[in-house]
Structure 1
Amino acid sequence: MSVSPMETIFNVFNETADILKEELSCTYLEALAETSENFFQGDVLQTELSEVTKKRLLKKYSEIKLESYTNETIRKAFQLAILKGMKDSSQPNHQMTPDSIGLFMGYLISKFLEKHSAVTILDPAVGTGNLIFTILNHLDAKEANAFGVDIDELLIQLAYDGANLQQQPIQLFNQDALEPLFIDPVDVVVSDLPVGYYPNDEGASKYTLKADTGHSYAHHLFIEQSMGHTKPGGYLFFLIPNGLFESPEAPNLHRYLKETADIQGILQLPLSMFQNPGSAKSILILQKKGLGVQPPKQVLLANLPSLSNQQGMQSIIEKLDQWLAENKA
């Protein structure tokens, strides 16, 4: 039975991560980060390993030449290995944005920024980088520079390894994204918003969207932080919970958005994508206010069909093209 290029790369990641997991007594995800770094450097960097283990690993690494594969093939293989590791990990923040959403967001960004030959992109909750790499891999015609922030050291290490393996231009910052960021404003912010409460009340107090009492919503603060790092007229593409505008803090969010941005569109993702209807999400598209920036004549609203439904998606794409012609010409 023939093995696909993606499976060929995955098998090498997987087998070498398993060897390192055993030898270093660490988790699969930690071992995956170690093996990816080895792969990129073309060497075995773990000095505590025996010569026999080193030879086993080098033999495995020599089985594939990354330059003969596309970035998307490498990304998918690496993602598959990360997903395997996440199944063993019980950490709730170790979750990945599905590929189909990343592909569609990449399509939206290329449409909204059609006139840009170069773009700067920020993901303030970059995780393993899967969302931003999916987008970067589909902005072929554009020169792109990306920035990613995440507080989780292991996730940012995996994002760093993924960037190296795909040779993607991205600067990564391992910090709390709601603390001050030393990143210049960008053309586009994209984020699968971390939903929940932000435990640092003192840090939250600097934000307009802080709660009057108790902990503030992290996802609201992420929106405000993102807005502060977007150029006037720049775009923000957020994956939001469907109930974002129905929470007790929603009136504050409404007020804030009215002052700072124009809502361009809300695209509800199919419920079939989510195990629990309560965790269903939509894509919120905002444009930051600025000189000469006109609000759309009408907000783009749509319920997306299953992303594998080609006919349904074709009609959404036609609707989007018509909306862009009427509102963004």
Structure 2
Amino acid sequence: MKNRLINGNVQGGIDVSELSKMEQLFKVIDQSAVILRKELNCLYLEAVAETGENLFQEDILQDELDEVTKKRLQKEYSSVKLNQFEQETIRKAYQLAVLKGMKEAIQPNHQMTPDAVGLFMGYVVGKFMEGNQSYTILDPAVGAGNLITTILNMHSHSIEQVYGVDIDDLLLQLTYVNANLQKHGVELFHQDSLQPLFIDPVDLVICDLPVGYYPNDEGAAQYKVKSEEGHTYAHHLFIEKSLNHVKPGGYVVTLIPNNLFDSEQSHLLQALLKEEAIVQAIIQLPLSMFKQEEAAKSILVLQKKGEGVTPPENALLVNLPKFSNKQGMNNIMSQMNEWFKLNK
């Protein structure tokens, strides 16, 4: 799957008029998806992908629909013009529809990176990649594409090429449509990311790590973090895979469980990081974001070792307050900006 890269303007925040536009576009996506779900006898998520493709192609691609249904859909589509919407508005409207579908048919791998987290990861990426006029990105667990398109909308002026990989064909189809609607070029691969990837090393890997055990013991055997007995943690394997696929001096920015370094397999991961990477930052997300403390996550920033790569005097270690705590966030951001001045 390929689409052409068209750079768009970076938009910060969303005003009232954009909010109403987002609601308008979501309503069209949602109502047309409801029609398609009924007529095609498919999942709502599948219908979201179908209707998104219709919107992008400006046509109704489902030949099996009768004329009455096509007219109903055409009426929905004719009420919006995609070129009148900002990329972030499109992303948020599409994201709402995908979230609705994920709540309807919950699967462990059908979860989306929260918006506030994606935007903060985008800020972190901007800080660490500052000074790079153009760079390449890989997301080895791209899911429905919300994280990668959030970062693209923030930094598309600097991003040269984007690769996304996922084993779930429905999620990959959602990413494909998501990127097309926002006019972003993303090269997508439908496969198990922990198997060999035919992608050149990139400057940056971003990932909301899939957490759990990897069932393929034979596949895990090729990795340094493989467990001595039983299944290996998939999130450990994804970190090693990410380091394998980033250039020397490149960065890996991942969302990790807070207990990453406390598990019975953590000594294997720590040995790998000591050998191959520099821990630049661990940023703990607000505990209030998570229903259970054991589900809490942090942002981990690694830099792959290489010639001329030196570790910071001290890694950036941050506990974020609630995002709604403006004073607390301003204080933390000031501290982080001071760290970047000293270490970048």
The TM-score with structure 1 as length reference comes to 0.98
Residue aligning to 1:28? 44
Confirm whether residue 308 of structure 1 aligns to residue 327 of structure 2: no
**Partner Cα distance (1:246, 1:144) in 2:** 37
- Is 2:242 the counterpart of 1:229? no
8 Å Cα contact 1:144/1:169 also seen in 2: no
Q: 2:48 and 2:157 mapped to 1: Cα distance? A: 31
2:71 is aligned to 55
Q: 1:308: how far off? A: 2.4
- CA shift, 1:247, in A, is 0.4
For the residue of structure 2 that corresponds to 1:4, the secondary structure is helix
- In the other structure, the counterpart of 2:137 is 121
Checking the alignment, whether the CA contact within 8 Å between 1:235 and 1:287 is kept in structure 2 is yes
**Counterpart Cα distance in 2 of 1:160 and 1:197:** 27
AA matched with 2:92: K
Q: Which amino acid aligns with 2:336?
A: L
Which position in structure 2 is the counterpart of 1:269? 285
* Match of residue 88, structure 1, among 100, 104, 123: 104
Map 1:157-306 → 2, pairs under 5 A: 157-306=173-322
1-structure distance, mates of 2:183, 2:64: 29
Deviations 1:164-183 (A, max 9, x none): 00011111111000000011
Structure 2 contact 137–159 (Cα < 8 Å) conserved: no
SS in 2 for 1:227: helix
Q: Which amino acid aligns with 1:283?
A: I
Residues 136 and 144 of structure 1 are in contact (CA less than 8 Å); yes or no, is this contact kept in structure 2?
Answer: no
How far did residue 140 of structure 1 move? 4.7
Whole-Å Cα distance in 2 between the matches of residues 225 and 18 of structure 1? 39
Partner of 2:26: 10
What letter matches 2:228 in structure 1? D
The equivalent position to 1:98 in structure 2, one of 111, 114, 117, is 114
Aligned match of 2:60 in 44, 53, 57?
A: 44
How far residue 138 of structure 1 moved from its aligned partner, in angstroms, is 0.8
Cα-to-partner distance string for 1:42-95 (whole Å, 9 max, x where unaligned)? 111111100111111112111111111100000000000001111111211110
| Root mean square deviation, CA, Å | 1.3
**Secondary structure of the residue that 2:155 maps to in structure 1?**
coil
TM-score by length of 2: 0.93
CA distance in 2, matches of 1:183, 1:262: 23
Kindly indicate whether residue 168 of structure 2 is the aligned counterpart of residue 152 of structure 1: yes
> Where does residue 142 of structure 1 map in the other structure?
158
Where structure 2 has 5 or more consecutive residues not aligned to the other structure, the ranges are 1-16
Q: Secondary structure at the match of 1:138?
A: helix
- Is the contact made by 1:102 and 1:134 (CA closer than 8 Å) also made in structure 2? yes
Deviation digits for residues 188-226 of structure 1, max 9, x if unmatched? 111110010101111111111111111111000000111
TM superposition outliers: structure 1 runs of 4+ over 6 Å: none
The answer on whether the counterparts of 2:283 and 2:317 sit within 8 Å (CA) in structure 1 is yes
Q: AA paired with 1:174?
A: H
**Shift in Å, 1:322:** 1.0
Q: d(CA) in 1 for partners of 2:256 and 2:85?
A: 34
Q: CA deviation at 1:141?
A: 3.8
Q: Does 318-327 or 293-302 show the bigger shift?
A: 318-327
Deviation at 1:123, TM superposition (A): 0.7
Give the 3-state SS of the residue equivalent to 2:329 in structure 1. helix
Deviation at 1:103, TM superposition (A): 0.4
Runs of at least 5 residues in structure 1 that lack an aligned partner in the other structure? none
